[in-house]
Amino acid sequence: MRIGLAGVGRIGAFHASTLAGIDAVEEVVVADLDTDLAQHVAADQGLSMAPDIDSLLASDPDAFVITTATTAHAELIRKAVAAGIPTFCEKPVAATLDETIALSELVEGLGVPVHVGFQRRFDAGYRRARAAVESGELGTIHALRALTHDRQPPHAAYIPTSGGIFRDCSVHDFDIVRFVTGHDVATVHATGGNKGADFFAEAGDVDTGAAILTLDDGTIVTATATRYSGAGHDVRLEVMGSEGSIAVGLDDTLALRSAEEGVTFPAGPPHDSFMQRFHAAYVAELTAFCDVAAGRAPVPCTVRDALQAFRVAEACERSRAEGRAVAMAEIADAPALAGVEK
């Protein structure tokens, strides 16, 4: 299998290396607007290089991976599916809700596989939580608590193009809540604040956000996100049921210490970044994409899924701005997606 990859920044270089190590992959060809960077990554990892992304697509790869800046995602997906090339794209597939809806309808109509990068679906802990819910071992699910806490904020230049903390960070929690519970969000009430660098407020964003979600079966979910978790990168999910509870991320890497005397858990060290926290999940995700591209498996995380998570983030931003609860019925959806099984 010959795979083309567009965008060789931090996550792109990591994905290129991962793909090169998969048995089914014979060649990885990279391209980037920064040709010097593409040359460096190709030489460093022993990969091939295309002079530009259009040339890469024209070379008819067996599959295509998009890890460019968000602003290029939608256009590259359109080009790839028009050429009939199975595609993997890091989230989000587009910068706006309207464009995400348009892409979902396009991909659905053409039938070309497009796998969106929500890597938590491939993390062993989240998959175990999903199995616990599906099997009924936790009883009736009453509440979930999800959090995404970054150890340190990104560069100031990133924030104005990030889409805001709910679209950039919490969208992963919104997707995984759907994945674990099998239910959609019905209403949201969100807020946020700034106690850190001025560039968040200057971009109309917040450095810390919180949302209360009510699922369509009445389950309550709290989701928090922050750019300032100095204790370590902290991503967790707690699922509370009538017969038991389960937690994802509750191990010795936990970025939390006990106030109780004599407690030595967690032993540490904590994770520094999402790349470290989800390394194994990223590898499993790209291995699964190779199976999708080869026609051996269905798409495990579709543009439909990405749209639903994006809609929740959109509702949170509206709720934060307007200071009120927002029903998901207020947020535009693609008619063809109604009732799709997750």
pLDDT at 314: 98
Q: What is the mean pLDDT of residues 162-189?
A: 97
Q: Is the pLDDT of residue 155 over 80?
A: yes
* Percent of the chain surpassing pLDDT 70: 98
pLDDT at 104: 96
Q: Is the pLDDT of residue 338 over 60?
A: no
Side-chain half-sphere exposure of 112, counting CA atoms within 13 A: 19
CA angle, corner 169, sides to 310 and 258, nearest 5? 140
pLDDT at 340: 44
pLDDT at 336: 60
Tell me the pLDDT tens digit for each residue of 94-130.
999 999 999 999 999 999 999 999 999 999 999 999 9
Confidence of residue 262 (pLDDT cuts 50, 70, 90): very high
Tell me the pLDDT tens digit for each residue of 47-80.
999 999 999 999 999 999 999 999 999 999 999 9
The pTM of the full predicted model, rounded to 2 decimals, is 0.95
Q: What is the mean pLDDT of residues 303-312?
A: 98
Q: Is the pLDDT of residue 342 over 60?
A: no
* Domains observed in the chain: 2-119 (3.40.50.720), 121-271+304-337 (3.30.360.10)
Mean per-residue pLDDT of the chain: 96
